[in-house]
Amino acid sequence: MSPRSKIITAAVLFSSGGAAIKWCSFGGWQLAAFRASIAMLTILILLPEARRGWSWRTVVVAVAYAATTLLYVQANKHTTAASAIFLQSTSPLFILLLAPWLLGEHASGRDIAQMAVMGGGMGLFLLGIDRPSATAPNPALGNALAAICAVTWAFTVMGYRWLAARGSSVAAAAVSGNLTAAILALVMAQPLVGGRPADWAVVVFLGVCQLGIPYLFLARAVPHVRALEIGLFLLIEPVLNPLWAWLVHGETPGPTTIAGGVLILGATAGRMILDLKQPGRASVTA
């Protein structure tokens, strides 16, 4: 399998998260605990580098990673898959705001233009809340959790850069983050409940196929593909995520959700295409 094929496969597997989470009857905390536990074991088994290079920095980044994975599950339990993934996709907006202080990286004019459009898309989500439904019982709460998830993911991405610059293991941070998430979610999930065989199948799928294997594919492909190409290929995830939720659950996002998603994805894709045509300009969000 070529490096680009690995990235595309990873994006497709990542995109299954929303529909799969909604399929499982476990509560959000219990599902998050089991999903993180299996993902942790999968990454440990598949990636030798995840078993070394641990440090106090790894633990710091793990906190942001753990918050992200917990918020992602909870958001998908409360709002539409489209809202959850599109709002999480606004994380570059928060990287733009935080990177000058945390990483010493400053924004370009392109960054600011991209973030203005993404901010408009985020505003549409927060102003135009979808109606409650069987798969999205509390869209307002879910949207708020997804927006916070964008912030924690921004911290995670910046943490990865921080680790890489100091020669620390990013894979170890993912393992530590999943371990932290599993422990916290397990405490919050008490008392645990039994589930159907289908629920356990979904849990295994989420841990192995939706998180673990895609992480392996990305780790192996990233050294061989340009960063901008990786970003473009990974846009497959937010495009397919609501499609799977519609096919599996009949979940249809409202017009403001669709409009907000178009703005967010359009701003990101447009920026990446522009950078491909005119390379050489550093970005805090790419």
pLDDT tens digits, one per residue of 226-251: 765 777 678 888 889 999 999 999 99
What pLDDT band is residue 286 in, cutting at 50, 70 and 90?
A: very low
pLDDT tens digits, one per residue of 113-169: 877 887 888 777 667 667 888 899 999 999 999 999 999 998 998 888 888 888 888
Cα separation, 169 vs 61, in Å, equals 11
DSSP string, 79-103: S-HHHHHHHHTTHHHHHHHHHHHHT
Average pLDDT over residues 62-89: 94
**Residues in the chain, overall count:** 286
pTM for the full predicted model: 0.86
The residues spanned by each domain of the chain are 3-277
